Amino acid sequence: MSESLLSDANQRLKKALRYVTIHEDAVERLKHPKSSLTVSIPVRMDNGSLRVFQGYRVRYDDSRGPAKGGVRFHPGVTLDEVQSLAFWMTFKCAVLNLPFGGAKGGITLNPKELSKFELERLSRGYVDAIADFIGPDVDIPAPDVYTNPMIMGWMMDQYSIIRRQITPAVVTGKPIAMGGSLGRETATAMGAFFVIQTVMPKLNRKPENTTVAVQGFGNAGAVIAELLFRAGYKVVAVSDSQGGVYSPQGLDIPSIRKIKESTRGIKAVYCEGSVCNHVDHTAVTNAELLELEVDFLIPAALENQITAENADRIRASYIFEVANGPITSAADAILEAKGIQVFPDILVNAGGVTVSYFEWVQNRSGYYWTLQEVNQRLEEKITRETELIWTIAQELNCDLRTAAYVHALKRMGEAIEAKGTREDYVK
């Protein structure tokens, strides 16, 4: 375990253990990933040259069921990062009471530098390398940063070729035509939206009087921004990796999404039909967006965006973590001292893995649900677990992140203890 992401993630575990009693055997198990795989993936490039990419797959814990977790394509992917993400997935699945453990995978590269043909060869090569490590009853990959339904479809197809049988349940987040679930692409944002809607009465807030800034305007960030906009919230700032825009009067999110899809850039615009006009705004960097004075701040990009270095400059009243691990444990303490309430990633962004679970269930049964059924089931699960975590936080007088870990630990501890502890063997 390196003194970085995974070490930092374990600080949350240590804090939660002050509030819950589980067997020391379970604690020891949860300190270490169950298995880690590092692979080399040779890819023949379009120009005839050969490149070898580094890939990873980690199963952190499978005490509650097959491991579950996404695959990301990103230059910053490391084994430590993948282990940390698998750690969070373990707790996330327990928070939502899904019959899964936690896993994660990734390949170190900039996917924007590869053609679609090269990406397909890379995706299939990754599955060739990890095929013995995954499976519908073992470890089920899904989309993550810079991966999408088409890539998941390639991976499922390659696994099916290797096994010589159609195996849709090996991967979730696939195209609908290949066994994907309706609602999966918007599930992360939809889950976050249901968390926010659930806690609004508890915070004595109304949408029209609530300002929101969203860092990260990708799949999750753009969708949550639009869901909140359409629900009457005032979304005043959004950004992507290149920078963002801020307007205290509020932004027209559907228009910005329209421009983003056509130009790959964020511009403050208002569109009527095909005509888009620029509106008054201030250009902001990702770092500046985090420090805006808003009611709700939504980090929806990558890890470690709020650290000990900038936490004291955060002025939002509430933070909803749509990204995985956007706040370090050191920053948590600073934010708590400032009275900023953080709604943790293992609850807020759990909509994605929840609908992945729904997809897995549909694949295995061969019976597929309507979009309305998917969203209704998602809302029921998210609302129920949000209410439970809120209650735990009130009863223990602790922060919401710790309450979420306590909630997960109770379920995970029961599963690990059910297999036997020291007392069962030593009388």
User: Which pLDDT tens digit goes with each residue over 286-304?
Assistant: 889 999 999 999 999 888 8
Comparing 19-28, 72-81, 162-171, 282-291, which segment has the lowest mean pLDDT? 19-28
For residue 111, CA distances in Å to 25, 106, 123, 364 come to: 41, 12, 11, 31
Contact residues for 211 (Cβ-Cβ < 8 A; gap 6+): 233, 234, 235, 236, 248, 250, 294, 295, 296
Q: Residues with Cβ < 8 Å from 424, sequence gap 6 or more?
A: none
Structural class in CATH, domain 33-167: alpha beta
Contact 250, 280 (CB under 8 A): no
CB under 8 Å to 142, separation ≥6 — which residues?
68, 69, 70, 71, 152, 171, 172, 173, 352, 353, 356
Mention every residue, 6+ apart, whose C-beta is less than 8 A from residue 376.
none
Mean pLDDT of 236-240: 91
Establish whether 92 is an annotated binding residue: yes
| Residues of each domain in the chain carrying CATH 3.40.50.10860 | 33-167
187-348: CATH class: alpha beta
**DSSP helix/strand/coil, 378:** helix
Is 370 labelled a binding residue?
no
Query: At 270, is the pLDDT very low, low, confident or very high (cuts 50, 70, 90)?
Result: low
Q: How far apart are CA 297 and CA 319, in angstroms?
A: 5
Q: Is 310 annotated as a binding residue?
A: no
pLDDT tens-place string over residues 295-350? 999 999 888 899 999 999 999 999 999 998 899 989 999 999 999 999 999 999 99
Q: What is the average pLDDT value for the chain, to the nearest integer?
A: 91
Residue ranges, CATH 3.40.50.720, the chain? 187-348
Q: What percent of the chain has pLDDT over 70?
A: 94
Catalytic residue numbers read 104
- Helices 79-95 & 400-417 angle (0-180, nearest 10): 80
Question: Is 7 known as a binding-site position?
Answer: no
Q: Is 202 assigned a ligand-binding role in the annotation?
A: no
Q: Is 422 a residue whose pLDDT tops 80?
A: no
